[in-house]
Structure 1
Amino acid sequence: MPELPEVETVKRGLAPTMEGARVARLELRRKDLRFPFPDAFSEKVSGRTIVGLGRRAKYLLVDLDDGNTLISHLGMSGSFRVEEGAASDTPGQFHHARSKDEKHDHVVFHLESPGGSRRVVYNDPRRFGFMDMARRADLAAHPFFRDLGPEPTGNELSAAYLAERFRDKAQPLKSALLDQKNIAGLGNIYVCEALWRSHLSPIRAAGTLVTASGKPKEKLNLLVASIRDVIADAIAAGGSSLRDHIQADGSLGYFQHSFSVYDRESQACGTPGCGGTVARIAQAGRATFYCAACQK
């Protein structure tokens, strides 16, 4: 599933085409994706001008000029592409093949702007993605967002904040980091990478990073810095480049090639002087990659 850096990459790729454009028509080629589309969805979006694109956790937000926001989640295999004129080929070179079967093109934004007419097409072979609408002023209270923790890129995420969340917790550290109520948008890949960078074991109790008085230990400060750094590096590289993820221009990011532990089972740990080997274990049904020699 695309993680926060992938969604941020898609947002930045779509912004030049979508921001300021008028939606001449929103074409729905089926009645649902993972969930049914909102009532009168096409009618509510058609004729509106897109005033901005945003992101919250792993959700793409499309703000309209009437105060409504279109909420999109890419699910497992969702992607957007931009088409202009009669051209229907997606530009860019793909590291992994993607579906070009038009039966998976489920939503089409027909856009008009001073630069001409374009189409933004949502393709989703597995249909685990979904779209919804809400008033922008009500987003914080929306069921998708009301329980989310702070963004891993924002100032609200701090060692002091996590100390409050982790105090006296016996929950494994990785599970605590994946809890969206603690941190919004942080997923399996980047948790593995951040834990490796901070030399922390995914199986240690989250509460061990907090003092008896509730203060963050130095290792928790290091973890917060590692989370920020790994997300920033992934965004700068254009996403993790997993099989079903593409950028809005059709190309793939290549941060995947820089992973230090994720999907590197049985390979040598990259920590200087470590000499350990990357192992794979299962935690709550998800694969965890880490080095037991240097991650304590």
Structure 2
Amino acid sequence: MIEVCNVTGGYKKHKPTVKSVAFTVEKGSFCTLLGPNGSGKTTLIRLMMGVLPLTAGEIKLEQKSISSYSATQLAQKIAVMTQENQIGLEFTVREIVALGRYPFQTKRFLNSESPYDKEVIERVMKRTDVWRYRHHSFNALSGGEKQRVLLAKSLAQEPEYLLLDEPTNHLDVKHAMELLHLLKELQREENLTIVAILHDLNIAALFADDAILLKDGEVYARGIEEIFSDQQTLQHVYGVDLHVLYHPGVHKRQLAYVPRKKRRYYKLFPTYIRS
């Protein structure tokens, strides 16, 4: 269980990005963080990682403050996949994934992979469909392929908790759906607890068990049912016209976005449109 207890913090102490945020992520659940750009989602993930300092509140992992864990202890429980997928040095795909075993290796400055480390590395690479790229340069891969490699690296930590910052970034629809299906399988089969920032609200509604909707650094609404049944709340938070409807194939709510009427653009580009 992850407990976020009235957390305030961010990059500037005098101007926090996240303010008095409180929620609980149950063990074995898939919780998504929702909200427009600038709402505090990535900052919150970084506070949960312990990368950014808290100015108030506390974050607990299994009823213990994350500050009481060493960096190695935390890495043996929580894996993180961020949006950044640029690696300055030339590493092979396998070398990148192998970094996930680092918290479990005692001789960290030597090539100390155990037979079990090698087994885990191969298993997660095959499961994420990157084993075929194991000898390729990471920097030579496409954006979507890099995302899958970084997921494999996170899974190589054999985490109990997985924090994901926009995991479907750079992925087309097919690969985004495959990645989310894989995450759901891992959640069910290994009781993996997942906290993921998702920008695609329809994908979030299909795959997540719980949701936190952020606006201006604060929790605006909580719960899949509560959020996706409230059309006015979504319109207010995201600033777009939309309709809530049911998916034709599964009993899940989905959103249909309504484009602005053409007449509104005359005020923005009067010369261009009339010419």
Please report the TM-score for the alignment, with normalisation by the length of structure 2. Answer: 0.27
Higher RCO (C-alpha 8 Å, min separation 6): 2
Of Structure 1 and Structure 2, which has the larger fraction of its residues in helix?
2
Please report the TM-score for the alignment, with normalisation by the length of structure 1. Answer: 0.25
